[in-house]
Structure 1
Amino acid sequence: MRPTGPTGPTGPTGPAEAAEAAGAAGPSAAAGPAGRTRPGGRPLLARLLVLFLLAGLVPLLGAPGVARAASGCSGRPAKTVEFSTGELRVYKSRAHVCAVTVAKKPGKRRTMSVTLQARGGRAVSDKGKYTKMAGPVTVNALNRCVRATGAIGKKSASTGWILC
């Protein structure tokens, strides 16, 4: 039962008075702009903004299973040939093939090279003194065989004609 005063019951009697009473309850129950607040008082828009910013950082940080992050080549791994000082990695996308030579023990500068050739085309190569890897080199190889060669120091490996 509600307490009564000289003019009648005290407290909200209609929907407008109930809303005014809820607004006076405190800052945690107050509605923010357009009524989009949570009980803790943080706007829903701010939470969504943080969510979108974090989602935008995932490609920058590198998603698992992406070949590009490890080698500089896009596409799926097609062939890997190991040799004593490193390995030759070949990647294939729909119309292109890419290759890199990666050292087993990166560190000091040494001569490294990678060469990639599509059948009927010129060879593309990258040779120099590197610490970790040579390449990437890419050729257009839609419906064509390719061959790749990689070398670190005096040791080398070759794929022969592949992806035919």
Structure 2
Amino acid sequence: MYGLAIVIAAAGLTLASPGIGSAEAASAGPACSGRKVKTVAFATGELRIYKSRRYACAITVSKRPGVRQTMAVTIQARGSRTARDSGRFTYRAGPVTVYALNRCVRAHGSVGARNASTGWILC
């Protein structure tokens, strides 16, 4: 009886916890809400900026998905702090979101040693 409870609990944890491939499967869908307003391509990836009514969101996507490499994305609304996501990812960095109702935003993304920035946009 006790052994059966352990097996059932372990099976539940396996189903509830994300697997190695689930992050990659989730990355195939849309990462940010709103409409895409700008895409800045660079040698190793793309910086994508989305805007909904109140929020701006950014992601950096690698041109070589599946290869673990250093990536980063930042977004800042004018007068606010910067939101950042960085690390070693296989597909994308982000999403990062800031409150941007009636504010300009700027974003920066990098994959490996290459990067791109937008300057102030959506003003």
Q: Where on the TM-score scale, by shorter chain, does this alignment land: which range?
A: 0.7 to 0.9
Matched, 1:87 2:46: yes
Relative contact order (C-alpha < 8 Å, sep 6+): which is higher? 2
Contact 1:71 1:100 in 2 (8 A): no
The answer for the alignment partner of 1:39 in structure 2 is none
1:1-164 alignment, distance < 5 Å: 70-164=29-123
**Counterpart AA for 1:102:** V
* Mapped partners of 1:84, 1:117: distance in 2: 23
Q: TM-score, with normalisation over the residues of structure 2? A: 0.76
- Offset, 1:136: 0.1
Contact 1:71 1:136 in 2 (8 A): no
- Offset, 1:108: 1.6
- Offset, 1:105: 1.1
**Counterpart AA for 1:137:** V
- Offset, 1:121: 0.4
**Structure ranking higher in helix proportion:** 1
Q: Which consecutive unaligned segments of at least 5 residues does structure 1 have? A: 1-67
* Mapped partners of 1:91, 1:70: distance in 2: 14
Larger Rg over CA atoms: 1
